[in-house]
Chains A and B, each alone.
Chain A
């Protein structure tokens, strides 16, 4: 099961990296490869771009050649769980520009505890409020570390 997923993953990630390699090479070619003083800004990126294309194509070839055991799937529920957490993190970071750290972080913590870990709402609320307040008191208040602020000044 894992092997089939990795094979598919290898082909996709190899293709993505090959595309990145091509992008790096085209960008590098638009800068000086060699100047009067020596190698220019395009020199080093050009060569690691070439290496990236070659190695990622090898990866794709290797993966395509390897045998697979039957048609199997990756552990999608587990991946879904991780992606939900990542999405929640991304949304809370996006909200930070408008709501500030304190509120966005409390929302993130509440979501993680209540939805991802399926704890009672009261537990989630306690964890969210306590952790957000603790962060606020430790970093901006006690250590003067700046954090994103919202319309309420925190």
Chain B
């Protein structure tokens, strides 16, 4: 009953005219960004975050979430028409989507992707609605040691799944922890790592790190590639976008598979849409009566990963909203946004900020409908975005980055840092260091240090407190097992296959 009344309250918030508009704007921007190769959802959310500072938290988070799941819808368009994934979570969609397009079924492939995204996206939100309240209730019993252990577990999973080298993932995480220590220690007012710069006493602004590493880093990497790709024509007319009865029938199981796999994998920190789309594709191929069709334009091969990609959103918001633990780059930025607005994600969020929590959940039901409408009849229009020359796009991204980094603080110093972090982001992608652990380490570092120090204060310096409490003991053991996994050959081969096939 509590869930039903919460959701009703959420719809009352989400259906306010202002919030409907923000939901629409978020979905529209997300779709556009999803279509543009070279600019991911994390970068876009980071770029647009400063614009939401003046908004009320419910409207702001509704828009940011719209960008997040809108980009996932849009990502399939470039996979199908260009064989270039707009986002890493759309890599698998290329396999069969592009083949369908080459056979003249581009419209049907886009249609299946949109329908699968809608069905699974909605299932994911239903999952979020039902699962979040009990998880939050369970987490109410958590104290500092449990939070510290939970963060270790989340970070371990992110490191495990973010790149081929575990060492590089861990180093990226440690770099994030160091960057977040810069500034004043909240317990003792000791200044740390400020290099004599008074400006650094308040710490480094999250925006500068996120925009630099994601947006500038991504642009510099795309500049390397240089050339523009050729788009396959999108058939005009709504009817040409609808899959035929035979194709829909083939996708029945794929819709279900994508929904469930996507949601479950999404709930795990570090799971993420990329991994879930790969797993759903694998399951679909394994149970199919004609696996030889996969990779040659099987409609299920589009429906399963696209579904999983979108059901993942609902899953990823479970740990973010109920535990305050983001599962990847985009959710890490959303966490910082919530904190900036004074909303504290965690077990008490449902009671303390019902407008934001339930408003966001309800808006996602609406957002999925908005996206279905945007993506089915308007796909030919959006495909025109692909004709926007990159030489126009790149200066614009630089401009927005400058506005984002300078607008929040008004300090030239931050622009200097932005230049530095842009180079760092590029170097990391060039040397194959994953950037998600750095951002997560930066976002969670303060809370992690606080939880550890509080735990040790509570136990008068006894480290055993972390393993004497059952929940934290289980989570820390799991984190340890996760980091030892690569030592087991067969599992590591599986992990590497999952990551490399996902780009």
A interface residues with partner B (beta carbon < 8 Å): 6, 9-10, 13, 17, 20-21, 24, 27, 31-32, 34-35, 37-41, 43-45, 48-49, 51-52, 55-56, 58-59, 62, 75, 78-79, 81-82, 85-86, 89-90, 93, 96-97, 101, 105, 108-109, 112-113, 116-117, 119, 123, 127-128, 131-132, 135, 139, 143, 145-148
Contacts and interface: CB of A to CB of B under 8 A. Distances in A.
B191 to A, nearest CB: 9
Given A45-B181, A82-B224, A148 B51 contact: no
| Most chain B Cβ neighbours within 10 Å, of A13, A101, A108, A132 | A13
B402 A101 contact: yes
A117 to B, nearest CB: 4
Given A13-B431, A62-B167, A37 B396 contact: no
B167 A59 contact: yes
A84 B415 CA distance: 18
Interface residues of B, number: 60
Contacts of A35: 188
Contacts of A148: 406, 412, 415
Given A81-B224, A89-B398, A117-B391, A48 B177 contact: yes
Interface stretch (B33-41, B361-369, B452-460): B452-460
Contacts of B174: 21, 48, 51-52, 55
A42 B452 CA distance: 13
B171 A112 contact: no
Given A32-B188, A32-B190, A108-B398, A13 B391 contact: no
A93 B223 contact: no
A24 to B, nearest CB: 6
Contacts of A117: 390-391
A38 B461 contact: yes
Contacts, number: 163
A96 B415 contact: yes
Interface stretch (B269-277, B290-298, B418-426): B418-426
Contacts of A39: 452-453, 456-457, 461
Contact of B456 (A9, A24, A38, A56): A38
Contact of B402 (A6, A37, A93, A123): A93
Contacts of B456: 38-39
A85 to B, nearest CB: 5
Contacts of A101: 402
Given A82-B224, A145-B403, A55 B415 contact: no
A35 B418 CA distance: 36
A131 B171 CA distance: 39
Nearest to B411: A148
25 contacts: A6-B432, A9-B431, A13-B431, A20-B178, A38-B456, A38-B460, A39-B456, A40-B188, A51-B174, A55-B167, A55-B170, A55-B174, A81-B223, A85-B219, A89-B216, A89-B422, A96-B402, A96-B415, A105-B398, A108-B395, A109-B395, A109-B398, A119-B391, A123-B391, A146-B410
Nearest to B222: A82
B185 A41 contact: yes
Contact of A59 (B168, B175, B193): B168
Nearest to B170: A55
Contacts of B460: 38
A128 B178 contact: no
B497 interface: no
A82 B221 contact: yes
Interface in B156-213: 165, 167-168, 170-171, 174-175, 177-178, 181, 185, 187-188, 190, 192-193
A51 B175 CA distance: 11
A44 B454 CA distance: 12
Nearest to B220: A82
| Most chain A Cβ neighbours within 10 Å, of B190, B395, B419 | B395
Interface string B264-304: 00000000000000000000000000000000000000000
Nearest to B187: A41
